[in-house]
Amino acid sequence: MTTQAYYQRLEEFTALCIDLARAGQTWLAVIVCHELYRFLYPVEPYAGFTHTDPVAFAAEHIERLLASARTFSAALSPYPPPAQQDHPAGSGDLKDQTSEVYSELWERFDDQTLTDEGSKLLLARLPQGVVESHVRGRAVLDLGCGSGRYSIALARAGAGRVLAVDAQRRSFARAEAYCREQGLAVDFKEQDVLALDLENACFDFVFCNGVLHHTADMERGLAEMARLIRPGGAGFLYLYGAGGIFWDTRRALRRVFRHIPQERAMRVLEDINMPPNRFIFCDTWYVPRERHTSRRELEALLNGLGLDYEKVVSKNAFDLDKAIADGLPGAADMWGDGEHRYLLRKKSEAHLAKKRSKS
């Protein structure tokens, strides 16, 4: 089956899941959406699965799920659904809505996910030598720290001091308590990542992982990163990519979950024993804003900020870029531009002075 066949089935799948939710079969909609999405990644370790022909598999898989959902739904006689089925719009501003969605998910993290998993992911995703040259003994900012697990990881990696900022203390409360108990050099603060009350060029390393694509102004967030990195310093940036079956399916499924409250979806996923660290299945469904950016668009923005940059390919088999770099057949159709992980560098004062003298 072709890419076109997948997209045809995706429209049917989305419409069916919306109908299931409106008919009171929200649990069935959640389960089949989860089953579709978990196999869009290069590997699904809980099923012992690794993609070899991703587009063909995705087309066959969505066909199976459609048939199964239709058969199962037709065999049931559901009770009448509640009068209000659509998921209500969040109240408050965008950053607070986003923080509330994520806080609900992070509060389900077990201790290992909060305190240990971040260190493993950090070392798998940062280029070799970056920790030694830009983190160890240095002033580090975790820009949009969320749960605080990467703030913990950066401190454990030897940062001289970590400032971790996010919109609401609720999101990082457990990490803050843990760092205090363990004596880790992390300061947590409530701040808007788009308007930080910080002096220019005050950090050796700025870490921003999966944050700015959820803000009201990604360009402003990138400018804040550039402003805060010292000359000769560096940063790490992770943003969502664009294109391909993976990202298009994420957008389609967001339409389904407008009809399913977040707490209901989480109960269903807990009932099927989904591990608590797999919050990726709910953040994309409920976060109020999710921006997808092409590689060309992002690099144009970085060029405009005068930053040097290097695209980083993760060593984590779960990450999209590794499958693309490995040359898996159909990778571009499946994952588009993949994910954007970039090491950013700000030119040193000596370099900038030399450039000024020539102009």
Q: What is the pLDDT of residues 326-351, one digit of tens each?
A: 999 999 999 999 999 999 999 876 65
Q: Average pLDDT of the chain?
A: 92
Q: Output the pLDDT for position 92.
A: 65
**Which pLDDT value is given to residue 353?**
55
pLDDT band at 2 (very low <50, low <70, confident <90, very high): confident
Structural domains of the chain in order of their starting residue, each with its CATH number: 3-76+244-286 (no CATH), 94-242+292-358 (3.40.50.150)
CA-CA distance, 247 to 6, in Å (whole number)?
13
* Structure token pair of residue 230: 């010292």
Please report the pLDDT score of residue 16 as a whole number: 98
Mean pLDDT of 321-326: 93
Question: What integer pLDDT is reported at residue 347 of this predicted model?
Answer: 87
Higher-scoring residue by pLDDT: 81, 24: 24
pLDDT band at 354 (very low <50, low <70, confident <90, very high): low
- Kindly write down the DSSP assignment for every residue of 183-205, as one continuous string: T--EEEEE--TTS----TT-EEE
pLDDT at 355: 57
Q: How far is CA 134 from CA 5, 26, 206, in A?
A: 47, 47, 9
- Region 178-187: mean pLDDT is 97
163: left (phi over 0), alpha (psi -120 to 50) or beta: beta
**Can you tell me the mean pLDDT for 261-289?**
89
pLDDT at residue 134, rounded to an integer? 96
What is the per-residue pLDDT for 108?
85
Average pLDDT of span 271-299: 90
Q: How would residue 91 be classed by pLDDT, with cut points 50, 70 and 90?
A: low
The 10s digit of each residue's pLDDT in 39-88 is 999 999 999 999 999 999 999 999 999 999 999 999 998 888 776 555 55
Beta-ladder partners of 229: 203
Can you give the pLDDT at residue 87? 55
Is 331 in contact with 323 (CB distance < 8 Å)?
Answer: yes
C-alpha neighbours within 13 Å on the C-beta side of residue 287? 24
pLDDT the model gives residue 301:
97
The answer to whether residues 271 and 318 touch, using CB atoms and an 8 Å cutoff, is: no
- As a whole number, mean pLDDT of residues 104-128 equals 88
Q: Of 208, 224, 104, which Cα lies nearest the Cα of 151?
A: 208
- Between 282 and 47, where is the model more confident? 47
Mean pLDDT calculated for residue range 199-214: 97
Q: Is the pLDDT of residue 352 over 60?
A: no
| pLDDT exceeds 60 at position 275 | yes
Q: What is the distance between the alpha carbons of residues 27 and 41, in angstroms, rounded to a whole number? A: 23
Res 117 pLDDT > 60: yes
| 231-246 tens-digit pLDDT | 999 999 999 999 999 9
